[in-house]
Structure 1
């Protein structure tokens, strides 16, 4: 392959290859033919994977990572086609190498699952909701073993024990009951462990994990990484780990391949790529995650590094931060919560589950209060209760000087203009049958019907331009935009009525790190321009620390710690906060980024 300024480290990687790696990919090219042109998703990439090693495949959405993995297993759907290349797979060191790209369908069925397992990015969409997890796990166990029903159940239980979904000391009846559960009865982390168990059912030589920790809590993410390391050591497993987060790769991988626009732009060992990144794109990926050792005014983005001049990072000094905190302390509270309880009735109303327990706090005008905690701790329940989308069981919620705890829907309607919510999933919160212009204008039509359509169109155009979306795209639909663009559209819609208070509920958790940096910078910029007050919710403490003035840690429906963001991070008082901080992937120290 010819050398180019976009291709660092390839020659060194190939020259160091052993005689018989487990997988050797040569000049893989995947095209998507369209009406007027052909989109090249993967452009002649080459890499190899040794036995027992982990290869990290890194890049943003659209870089070709998932397409590469699907091509190896012949799982690409039309119109995608493999135009060129080979993928030599040699499961036995002395055996015959197989070109995965040209295997007959019958042979490929024998390879999938048995010799190459895959953990897909969306675990819930990979499971059938009408079948129990025990039934689906049994399907994944190699049928050539011809196990009886009892033996198959024993094997399923053993697999779940290996991925720590069951404990060996648990009673057998309890284990059988767990096998009878359905996918919707498991948490996100449990579903991901189940997918790993299914992928390991036939003891494959190679496991491909495509974004297996996206949108998971940092503690669950750390547990999944530990599990993969354990399985790799136990079975001498080779692993391809696909992610957009280089810090995760540092926790797990031996070799790293960085992809950008379908090409490999850099590759090498973890130490080489992290300590001496050569390509601007790699430097951008490393830099755009919020840093824990210093507070930046704005986050650098990948686009900054791809320009002619590297970005200059503006660091907020402790004195500047204390000055801002002192100013905020003099501002009146915009939101005040006193002894808030929320309980959900269960078992026909005979019993209840406590979601929020005696919550009290204030958010001052112009402040960003960060709320961090794992899934299920009550973060979203708190956010929706503050906005009166859920009813409080007990306690008071003040917005300004007004108690809104018991206002009727009609009384609340004027207040809806002053408080808005940005949801976690931008796609499901946008009506797919409405154009983005109609979606952003909808709050204006409801709350400001006295304004003309021209005024609405001008306001929509201004908001879209303000969040970085071309106003000429007003007639396009949500599916025609990327995830980061859809989130920007949601932000524009939330700002349509000039709110004072905005709740950001996990609004960047599923975005690529570079897109995440752009959205976080945008939220900070809009806060300065519109004098917004934020409740910023996330399970990612590094993101919350970048955004927040003060930090609130939630555990099991209670506030366990609260204080200035820097102080909570530097000197955590509660054991749970220390656990969250310890679980943050930190990567390696950078010398040349």
Structure 2
């Protein structure tokens, strides 16, 4: 039995906001064992990140402060535990990054954009160790190789030898070959954060976090913004590092599917409290708390096709007692019969596809090409990067076409081109039989009434100085549907109510709403002109899984009510499969394959699609059993 590395007892953290006192962490206790991973799961605002900041001594004061509890940390198996709250700022600074490290949610904002990754890595090393600059750079390279951002020396040598010109009388000079190997390794240190992808930046952050061989690593939502394939590789990497180094880990996320892939034990948080905890297999196979049951149920499962997703509110009711304390009651089975969801049969899916294809396409795309100029030395266009390269497909009225692929595959460029926000190089886009690539500016404005888009980030999509009522009303004013203020306000009130928001809130501003509520505002705005066709571009990827389920159900309801046609874009094949009649898989600007959603998932033709499917964090009991069995074999 491994010993305890971190023992948190009765931790309390409060924030003073104006006249209100918010208890962000409310008397929680948990322990982390040596070499094990504790998963902390919950929605935004549950207290997950504040808990991690309290452990690191980073709770911002003011307005926040730790008001009670103990955080006992033990570095070595035979050492004495120390209460982190009793340490001086200097002692705590030495502990951070040395014995306890943290990977933050937003890697791009965690790195300084004006310094190279080499500088930032060596700075982290020298902060806790006495090293020469040359030794620090060697250690930095070794760390980048350990996190697999840089290949091993042998692989670099093999690649250079393969590229060496083959002539009869020439052989690679060993000294020159080693020099080239060293140059390639040093080159990665000279790159800036903006020159790396999201997954590469996260590997740099992991390298910095493990640079001083910490006893405890805290990972706060480290994979939330990443593609499922990149997410899978990061989870594999964290597991490998944990096992190779004997490191303990706290992994924080809102997705129980991810927790099932990496955690040994789970603590479920809700409104500052831990409502349920235990071994991961026990929590997944026999959850006791209604909130846990709701979280497990609301994520789309690729192996089941449901009409609607269950939500957390289907499982519990939240109230308060006479003392103002939160009281949670589990709903009886009779109060909601759709907890497990009503499955759609294969016959129903086949009949729907036949019905859809019996109509004339609302959108036809033929051999579409979109390129971005790559400038040469003197600022002249040297070549074009083809973001969309010869794409052809059609969409039928009332259909949802799912568009899936990794970041950089061309999904968003294709979406913006369909709306003529990005110019085409060649090819045709026909909407209701009209080639929209040749429309005048005035005709394109008329087209905007019928074609709308819901963007990924609802906060940046809304003007912070404009009330949500005015934001939803703006399309009506621009397109002069009616200039009567009362008629416009009645339309806005109807749309807000239809997307599940109180019409009395129309004078409130975006910052007064949660992420899910802001996305509902964006959906209401997109419906203002009664469009026929809507593109949803990663419109639920930034939301908690419970809020995501609500928005996905809403989009399906609205499609039926308003006879909408969707292109639904996501990197998450599980979400796309739930929403879509057909799926189109893109890779490097081209279509890998396309077909009915069930067929794409169950019988993919291309290796790329199989990789996407294998990377979905299902959190199934079978996967958890397999992972635990494999780990037991490795550990003997």
State the distance in 2 between where 1:408 and 1:238 align: 61
Identify which of 101, 110, 118 aligns with 1:134: 118
Please say if residues 280 and 306 of structure 1, whose CA atoms lie closer than 8 Å, have aligned partners that are also in contact: yes
Deviates more, 1:451-460 or 1:52-61: 451-460
1:573 aligns with 2:616: no
Q: Could you give the per-residue CA deviations for residues 34-62 of structure 1, whole angstroms, max 9, x where no partner exists?
A: 33331111110000001100000011111
**Structure 1 stretches of 4+ moved >6 Å:** none
Deviates more, 1:253-262 or 1:318-327: 318-327
1:71 aligns with 2:99: no
What does residue 511 of structure 1 align with?
543
Shift in alpha-carbon separation, 1:295–1:144, aligned structure 2, 3 A: closer
So what's the TM-score if we normalise by structure 2?
0.88
Identify which of 552, 556, 559 aligns with 2:591: 559
Shift in alpha-carbon separation, 1:472–1:450, aligned structure 2, 3 A: closer
State the distance in 2 between where 1:426 and 1:556 align: 27
Identify which of 111, 123, 147 aligns with 2:95: 111
SS at match of 1:75: coil
Identify which of 169, 180, 184 aligns with 2:190: 180
Q: Could you give the per-residue CA deviations for residues 101-159 of structure 1, whole angstroms, max 9, x where no partner exists?
A: 23211111010000111000111111111111111111111434321111111111111
1:93 aligns with 2:53: no
SS at match of 1:141: helix
Tell me the number of residue pairs that the alignment of Structure 1 and Structure 2 aligns. Answer: 573
What does residue 7 of structure 2 align with?
24
Please say if residues 275 and 588 of structure 1, whose CA atoms lie closer than 8 Å, have aligned partners that are also in contact: no
What does residue 367 of structure 2 align with?
339
Deviates more, 1:580-589 or 1:49-58: 580-589
What does residue 318 of structure 1 align with?
346
Identify which of 60, 66, 72 aligns with 1:82: 66
SS at match of 2:438: coil
Deviates more, 1:346-355 or 1:136-145: 136-145
Offset at residue 325 of structure 1 (A): 1.2
1:452 aligns with 2:484: yes
1:402 aligns with 2:434: yes
1:521 aligns with 2:553: yes
Deviates more, 1:26-35 or 1:42-51: 26-35
1:202 aligns with 2:225: no
State the distance in 2 between where 1:489 and 1:88 align: 45
SS at match of 1:216: coil
State the distance in 2 between where 1:346 and 1:407 align: 27
Deviates more, 1:565-574 or 1:138-147: 138-147
What does residue 177 of structure 2 align with?
none
What does residue 9 of structure 1 align with?
none
1:44 aligns with 2:27: yes
Identify which of 80, 102, 120 aligns with 2:104: 120
Shift in alpha-carbon separation, 1:179–1:24, aligned structure 2, 3 A: same
Deviates more, 1:468-477 or 1:514-523: 468-477
State the distance in 1 between where 2:19 and 2:574 align: 44
Identify which of 236, 246, 263 aligns with 2:246: 236
Offset at residue 456 of structure 1 (A): 1.5
SS at match of 2:460: coil
Offset at residue 409 of structure 1 (A): 2.1
What does residue 13 of structure 1 align with?
none
Please say if residues 30 and 41 of structure 1, whose CA atoms lie closer than 8 Å, have aligned partners that are also in contact: yes
| Structure 2 alignment gaps of length 5 or more | 157-180, 318-330, 623-636
Please say if residues 366 and 527 of structure 1, whose CA atoms lie closer than 8 Å, have aligned partners that are also in contact: yes
Q: Could you give the per-residue CA deviations for residues 264-307 of structure 1, whole angstroms, max 9, x where no partner exists?
A: 11111011101111111111111101122221100000110114
SS at match of 1:475: coil
What does residue 211 of structure 1 align with?
221
What does residue 4 of structure 1 align with?
none
1:284 aligns with 2:307: no
What does residue 309 of structure 1 align with?
332
State the distance in 2 between where 1:445 and 1:65 align: 43
Please say if residues 142 and 202 of structure 1, whose CA atoms lie closer than 8 Å, have aligned partners that are also in contact: no
Offset at residue 426 of structure 1 (A): 0.9
Q: CA RMSD in A?
A: 1.3
Deviates more, 1:460-469 or 1:57-66: 460-469
Please say if residues 342 and 391 of structure 1, whose CA atoms lie closer than 8 Å, have aligned partners that are also in contact: yes
